[in-house]
Amino acid sequence: MKSRNYGRCNSASLRKCRKPVQRRSSTAGATPCSACAPRATPPFVAEPVLPDLLRPGLRLVFCGTAASRASAAARAYYAHPGNAFWRALAQTGLTPRRFAPREYPQLLDYGIGLTDLGKHAAGTDAELPADAFDTEGLRARILHHAPAWLAFTSKHGAQSFRGQAVGYGIQPWRIGASRVFVLPSPSGQARRSWDLSLWQTLADLIKECS
């Protein structure tokens, strides 16, 4: 008796019926996550990202490396929520209360000024162009305004200006008549090196100048 075919495909017909299955790669067309994608180097801008807060005869001028992206967006110094700068000023008595970043012009009322080593680019130190820091520009501003003290708000900024390793605290060198102090960075990315006591030491020195 012949076997009957009840609609089953034989081996030849199976080969005709089957269609190749295209497997999609798990990475095909995938968009890299923001944490993995490289960030573009911040461009130089013609105008300073933040204006200097300077005038002759100040007791103290703080100098950062460059404005952060948050500060550039807010048009205010040390504007990132994780930055301890404004809290440190209040805790050490350099200001009578904790100012909001947008209130930074009021620091002049307390004999305090602000500037940055890099004025024409914004971002973290790792993101900045290699030639972002204008050391001679900073030197000229300090010589012109002659504050009693210049305080770098990070060791990286001081070392970039000096061209050699420096320690925290009072420095053995000056810029003109201005004495120099190096502080631990208030940035949230530098929490491991944060030390409020050095900020208090500086505040005590500034109060002696009053």
Task: Enumerate helices (H) and strands (E) in the chain, giving the number of each.
Answer: 6, 5
Across the chain, which has 210 residues, the per-10-residue mean pLDDT values are 42 43 44 44 68 97 93 95 97 98 98 94 73 89 98 95 96 98 92 93 90
In this structure, what token pair is assigned to residue 144? 């012109």
What does DSSP say about strands 169-175 and 178-182: parallel, antiparallel, or unpaired?
A: antiparallel
pLDDT of residue 4: 43
Q: Is residue 154 part of a domain?
A: yes
Q: Is residue 20 part of a domain?
A: no
State the residue range of the domain holding 82. 60-209
pTM of the model: 0.77
Domain count, the chain: 1
CATH of the domain at 187: 3.40.470.10
Q: In what order do the strands lie in the sheet with 60-66?
A: 112-118, 60-66, 149-152, 178-182, 169-175
pLDDT of residue 115: 97
pLDDT of residue 42: 52
